[in-house]
Amino acid sequence: MTKSAWSRWIGLAILLGSGPAFAGDTAKGEKLFRNCLACHRLQGDDGATIRKGGRAGPNLFEVIGRLAGSAPNYEYSDGLQALHKSGQVWSKESLTAFVVNPNEFLSVQLGPGHTSKMPFALPNGAADIAEYLANVATTRK
């Protein structure tokens, strides 16, 4: 591994291990989630629309705590299918790391060469979106 790959790996390990220090802002995340609506919607199990959005990506309602690559009726890439098989469950921390850089997240988790078909990355504010996604799910139960 090159030096820069190591430092990125360590950065991600710190991010994933940060646990209680996780600090996202739900209100900011709700606004920032607009960036995701071109491809993602929030739709309850009963079919109710919580947030209207596109269908190029999977439904993100209750994604925190959900096994990666497991939204029904969605055809995931090989990379996300491999992540699913590895048993990865989305946490606020891992979702944040994925959104900051989907391909890098997969190569750190699964090894080089694994990629996602999500054609989008958000360098700033992903933690706020993760917080919003965690809360929008529990407040609707």
**By the rule CB under 6 A, 105 interacts with ligand HEC:** no
**By the rule CB under 6 A, 58 interacts with ligand HEC:** yes
Choose the binding region for ligand HEC from 1-9, 12-20, 42-50, 95-103 (rule: CB under 6 A): 95-103
Q: How far apart are CA 130 and CA 24, in angstroms?
A: 7
Q: How far apart are CA 86 and CA 28, in angstroms?
A: 32
Which of 8, 28, 51, 117 forms a contact with ligand HEC (CB under 6 A)? 117
Q: How far apart are CA 127 and CA 19, in angstroms?
A: 12
Which of 24, 61, 62, 68 forms a contact with ligand HEC (CB under 6 A)? 68
Output the CA torsion sign for 113, 117, 16, 64: negative
The token pair that represents 86 in the structure block: 């590895």
Q: How far apart are CA 56 and CA 92, in angstroms?
A: 22
- Looking at the Cβ atoms of 2 and 73, the one nearer to ligand HEC is 73
Residues in touch with ligand HEC (CB under 6 A):
35-36, 38-40, 56-58, 60, 63, 68-69, 71, 76-77, 79-80, 90, 95, 98-99, 116-120, 122, 129
